[in-house]
A = this chain, B = another copy of it.
Amino acid sequence: MERDLFPDSLVVGNDSKIVLCVLDGLGDLPGPGRKETPLEAAHTPELDRILPASSVGLFDPVAAGVTPGSGPGHLALFGYSPERYTVGRGVLSALGIDFPLQAGDVAARFNFCTLSDGRITDRRAGRIPTDTNKKLVAKLRTVTTPGDVRLFWETEAEHRGLLVARGQGLSGELSDSDPQVLGKPPLEVAPLTPTPAATASAQRFNQILKSAERLLASDHPANGVLLRGFASLPDWPSFDSRYGLRSQAVAKYPMYRGVARLLGMRVQDAYQDLDDACRLIRESWQEGDFYFLHFKDTDKAGEDGDFDRKVAAIEDFDSIVPRLLELGPDVLAVTGDHSTPARMKQHSWHPVPAVVHAPATARPDGRSHFGEGACRAGTLGHRPMSHLMSLLLAHAGRLTKYGA
């Protein structure tokens, strides 16, 4: 894949350190009957204290009006434009359950489904409990496929799971077996490109599906399996190679550690709480130039529609800011991967506030409290999130002049 001109071609090394804190789903709307968003309503003395040496701005996770999933949201944060760097659902599922995907693996999501006379009557098998899923997955692990190809069946939750095939000469250029409608039989998996590898892989997955169906014949309502989103690990330039950084990812949940791993970041063990996260950062401070700290509680509160809990999560994060500053980062950025307005109980497209604290180089915006409103007319502007990394590198002195 061709390298981006900016910032990649301008990267130079130094001994600066960058900490990027991602408060998942940070952006929001005013609560019912209020004028303030959770971030605006939160008491954040520590974040407010850094504003005189910081610039602020608003960032679109992907594009105008586009609501991102966690994958594209984080790719944008790391400077991988989600329009250009697309990744299949199978790979995202693997990341989401911390499955150690290898180059050449073919991953697909699967659903248990209900078949009646060979036709799909429920694409989610009545949303079977996760325990049932696990029992059936144990059965599916007896399915074999010819040659030197290994299969991995993994439970996600309820009716959802992950199937990975590992071996030589596999291709993920395959169509779904899930027709996405009821009353029809599952589709045959077909090659999307006319290569021998895709043709042989399609045949292989069709055989696997037949074996699975035979095994599950008596397991109504979960007597069938549908595959979709075949994908392999993408061949992208790594984060560290693009930016000349030694990265460290500090995240609690598999999806975020997975995206970091996808970009070749060094991924630390899941942390327990924010204290623990600070400790992981402190203890590895000599081995890293770039820290990605992911904090999920803001998003969870947003998804639950709990305005006050989102406020509390923001205040929890605020309290550790001094411990991050104590380490002496040259650049400390705080933002989100997307908005999750409590009022909407889901991800949204609304632009995300960001603060970039850089005592040596920030042009301050004269704001006294960090929030969506304060970020509207900030020096960082209103840009695609995939531009943020360039700003962080610039503030860290890691981008040289363009042209003479």
Contacts and interface: CB of A to CB of B under 8 A. Distances in A.
A30 B64 CA distance: 30
Contact of A350 (B29, B66, B87, B363): B363
A63 B404 CA distance: 16
Nearest to A399: B65
B351 A379 contact: yes
Contact of A65 (B68, B390, B403): B390
A68 B96 CA distance: 40
B64 A390 contact: yes
Could you say how many copies of this chain the assembly holds? 2
Given A6-B63, A394-B349, A58 B401 contact: no
A5 B344 CA distance: 25
A154 B58 CA distance: 49
Interface string A347-358: 111110000000
A71 interface: yes
**Most B C-beta atoms less than 10 A away, residue of A60, A379, A388, A403:** A403
Contacts of A37: 363
Judged by DSSP, the binding face of A is loop
Given A5-B83, A6-B64, A64-B391, 17 more contacts: A7-B66, A29-B361, A58-B381, A63-B387, A64-B388, A65-B394, A68-B402, A68-B403, A69-B402, A69-B404, A86-B403, A89-B404, A96-B404, A344-B361, A365-B373, A366-B373, A377-B377
Interface of A: 5-7, 10, 29-30, 35, 37, 58, 60, 62-72, 82-83, 86-87, 89, 92-93, 96, 341, 344, 347-351, 361-366, 372-373, 376-379, 381-383, 387-388, 390-395, 399-404
7 contacts: A6-B66, A29-B361, A64-B388, A64-B391, A66-B390, A349-B394, A381-B382
The 7 A-B residue pairs with the shortest CB-CB distance in the complex, in nearest-first order = A65-B390, A65-B394, A377-B377, A64-B387, A381-B382, A69-B403, A72-B403
